[in-house]
């Protein structure tokens, strides 16, 4: 059950959005447009937007740039999470992640199952943390983007969500790195 504490302050986060595709452009990127509209309507800041071809090195390069950018708190990608030869988003994510948030992919597929049945097993949606930045990979359909945002990310990226949320953990995401750098 998701609950918003209206007495708590809303803290906007800075979210970069990328569409992974060999065919989409900014002019026809309906999934990226939908995600950008959903997050800004929710009060967050669109910190960056990109179209990246289905290439592990290209995806890793953009993810690494956003991870290193102090103006980006969260990266959400859409596309490239299927099982075909060109679907390489999870492989790129795993090259940059420090920790995977297994529950994100599990929850996404559980919610998706109610809508598309067993076809949801073809999704390799995933989430994680890299150097203090949250990363989430959603499938490329507009419906999947809406489901991922409306059913999961909208709540977990809202500082008012109770009993807990990902925003309240943000100040502590780099604890391991601080300890390592101090020794």
Tens of pLDDT along 153-172? 999 999 999 999 999 999 99
pTM value is 0.94
Is residue 45 one of the residues assigned to a domain?
yes
User: Given this model, what pLDDT does residue 23 score?
Assistant: 92
Backbone angles phi, psi at 23, to 5 degrees: -120, -20
Is residue 7 one of the residues assigned to a domain?
no
Domain that holds residue 173: 12-182
95-119, pLDDT tens digit by residue? 999 999 999 999 999 999 999 999 9
User: Given this model, what pLDDT does residue 174 score?
Assistant: 80
| Residue 101 belongs to domain with CATH number | 3.40.980.10
Is residue 27 one of the residues assigned to a domain?
yes
**Strand locations in 53-159, DSSP E?**
74-78, 99-100, 126-130, 133-138
Identify the CA nearest to 132 among candidates 177, 91, 94. 177
Q: For residues 33 and 167, give the distance between their C-alpha atoms in angstroms, rounded to a whole number.
A: 23
Is residue 25 one of the residues assigned to a domain?
yes
Q: For residues 173 and 129, give the distance between their C-alpha atoms in angstroms, rounded to a whole number.
A: 8
Is residue 2 one of the residues assigned to a domain?
no
- Positions in the chain whose pLDDT score sits under 50: none
Is residue 70 one of the residues assigned to a domain?
yes
Specify the number of domains making up the chain. 1
Is residue 3 one of the residues assigned to a domain?
no
């Amino acid at each position: 059950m998701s609950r918003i504490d209206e007495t708590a302050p809303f803290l906007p986060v800075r979210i970069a959005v990328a569409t992974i595709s060999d065919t989409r452009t900014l002019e026809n990127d309906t999934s990226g447009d939908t995600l950008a509209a959903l997050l800004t309507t929710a009060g967050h800041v669109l910190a960056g937007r990109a179209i990246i071809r289905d290439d592990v090195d290209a995806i890793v390069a953009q993810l690494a740039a956003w991870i290193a950018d102090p103006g980006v708190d969260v990266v959400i990608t859409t596309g490239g999470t299927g099982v075909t030869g060109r679907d390489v988003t999870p492989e790129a994510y795993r090259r940059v992640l420090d920790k995977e948030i297994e529950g994100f992919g599990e929850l996404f597929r559980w919610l998706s199952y109610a809508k598309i049945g067993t076809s949801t097993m073809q999704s390799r949606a995933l989430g994680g943390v890299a150097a203090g930045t949250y990363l989430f990979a959603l499938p490329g359909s507009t419906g999947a983007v809406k489901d991922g945002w409306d059913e999961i990310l909208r709540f977990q990226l809202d500082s008012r969500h109770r009993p807990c949320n990902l925003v309240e953990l943000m100040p502590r995401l780099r604890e391991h790195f601080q300890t390592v750098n101090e020794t």
